[in-house]
Structure 1
């Protein structure tokens, strides 16, 4: 994928974000949430549906794939068990590993210093995204939290996380500028992007806010990188191949989502079930992406 295509997607990402920002101003919450649900259950779940194909392509031999498959299923099972044993702690863990994943996808192609610095930088960026989102939609967040864990996040905790992660992100980014790993223009662009997302989170519902970032700032760039890994380039043929290979796992996920929604009576929000699905597949997906990128 060449530089011009990357820049074209960056421009598209900003335009679609502004468009959905306008949608959130013009329409009420039911319309916003409907758009968000469609995006998350289609592209959002699709972006992790080819994990097993990626593991297969990385195999050394048949036994290598079998070993990776067992590890993948084990991670899913451990996440599900951990949630049953301690819902609140499992949610905190989900936020931290998702923060790393968001930061890795968004920042790893722009700057890299060393493993320790990069890990902290990625987590701080992801925590900044989450804390901005929670800061603007805390009531909705805590509604889901009560269904998931019977606990809530305090406003003070969210504010402290927001301010701290922002300050650390700025300091680490300026350090990268000083080390000439990134240009000051790139840093200023990131601040602009964060400001744009903050405005989007302020005006949009929780579900649409999450969908805007998760789909257009994370999932689609991840899908692009996966397609390049699988097929070598992003073409119409390689995109269709990716979708075809992901279709079965995607259908299983969708069926599982709606079965859970229908047969767990204490859960009243579809967003809660979507979160549970994401919770169970995020950790193994991050492991697969780590293996792919390395």
Structure 2
């Protein structure tokens, strides 16, 4: 996809920034990118829902917002009371979401089960690489959230298993999917670039680069195409106008959340729970959007 050509060019720019900006500056810039592009790419879920779910097409906007916020609240409560289970589900859901976003336009033929496994394993590979290169930091974050000491020494073996599955399914799609065959060399290059970025960058900076350049921006491209039928300057502005107020409300919510809980011991866990809760319904909405686009 052409959109990923921009991603790889901008990725090399981030590697250059990594050499000239101090770690604290990259941390703040990474957070800014996540809270801007990251939240905006999910801000128009309410607009996508009626188009992706025919049964909800004629529902009043206020009712759709109510349903969406109820789902977010339920996941937030689940994350608060069952953090160990919730963080595992969050990683698994997000892994599939990342893989689906990256490969849905490339693998459009053949059985759904191999496609699902391949996309899921690709997302797990992305998470696994980030976690492996920042193992100590990730272990601390997970321990702070779950209150259960955890070690990720098994990651290398997990990545080996995931790699074997991806290679095996890669051979399958190479023989059965024309577009996959033509894209394979390019995708391997992308993965090598991401691996280098994850290795040399701090945790937040590495995640923000992938999340914004390789996930959020391609997702914005797909969403605009789904809602308006074409990606151009006019439709991009329309999308951003609709997303703006949802984004502002989300940012205000996060600021209020910070002011209320910044001095508590559980602030980081609650903040992560809030962000994860937004992710869960977004994964379902985008999955339905892709299914609707395919049909």
Both structures adopt the same fold (TM-score exceeding 0.5)? yes
Does residue 77 of structure 1 match 2:73?
yes
Distance 1:182 1:195, change over 3 A: same
Q: Is the Cα contact below 8 Å between 1:56 and 1:65 reproduced in 2?
A: no
- TM-score with structure 2 length normalisation? 0.89
Q: Is the Cα contact below 8 Å between 2:107 and 2:180 reproduced in 1?
A: no
1-side partners of 2:272 and 2:86: how far apart?
Answer: 12
Does residue 98 of structure 1 match 2:94?
yes
Aligned Cα root-mean-square deviation (Å) = 2.2
User: What SS does the corresponding residue of 1:154 show, helix, strand or coil?
Assistant: coil
Match of 2:48 among 33, 54, 61: 54
**Comparing 280-289 with 25-34, which one deviates more in the overlay?**
25-34
Residue of structure 1 in register with 2:135 after alignment: 138
User: What SS does the corresponding residue of 2:42 show, helix, strand or coil?
Assistant: coil
Aligned runs of 1:264-279 on 2, under 5 Å?
264=261, 265-267=264-266, 275-279=272-276
Match of 1:38 among 23, 32, 39: 32
Distance 1:153 1:124, change over 3 A: farther
Q: Is the Cα contact below 8 Å between 2:80 and 2:273 reproduced in 1?
A: no
How far off is 1:78 after superposition? 2.5
Residue of structure 1 in register with 2:147 after alignment: 150
Residue of structure 1 in register with 2:112 after alignment: 115
Distance 1:262 1:125, change over 3 A: same
2-side partners of 1:110 and 1:274: how far apart?
Answer: 35
Aligned runs of 1:128-277 on 2, under 5 Å?
128-264=125-261, 265-267=264-266, 275-277=272-274
Residue of structure 2 in register with 1:16 after alignment: 10
Distance 1:236 1:106, change over 3 A: same
User: What SS does the corresponding residue of 1:162 show, helix, strand or coil?
Assistant: helix
Q: Is the Cα contact below 8 Å between 2:139 and 2:152 reproduced in 1?
A: no
Distance 1:230 1:183, change over 3 A: closer
Q: Is the Cα contact below 8 Å between 1:25 and 1:203 reproduced in 2?
A: no
How far off is 1:178 after superposition? 2.0
User: What SS does the corresponding residue of 1:93 show, helix, strand or coil?
Assistant: helix
User: What SS does the corresponding residue of 2:154 show, helix, strand or coil?
Assistant: helix
Distance 1:12 1:188, change over 3 A: same
Q: Which runs of 4+ in 1 moved over 6 A?
A: 64-67
Q: Is the Cα contact below 8 Å between 1:54 and 1:230 reproduced in 2?
A: yes
Q: Is the Cα contact below 8 Å between 1:44 and 1:215 reproduced in 2?
A: yes
Q: Is the Cα contact below 8 Å between 2:39 and 2:247 reproduced in 1?
A: yes
How far off is 1:267 after superposition? 4.6
1-side partners of 2:78 and 2:157: how far apart?
Answer: 27
Q: Is the Cα contact below 8 Å between 2:107 and 2:177 reproduced in 1?
A: no
The count of aligned residue pairs is: 286
Residue of structure 2 in register with 1:87 after alignment: 83
Gapped regions of structure 1 (runs ≥ 5): 1-5
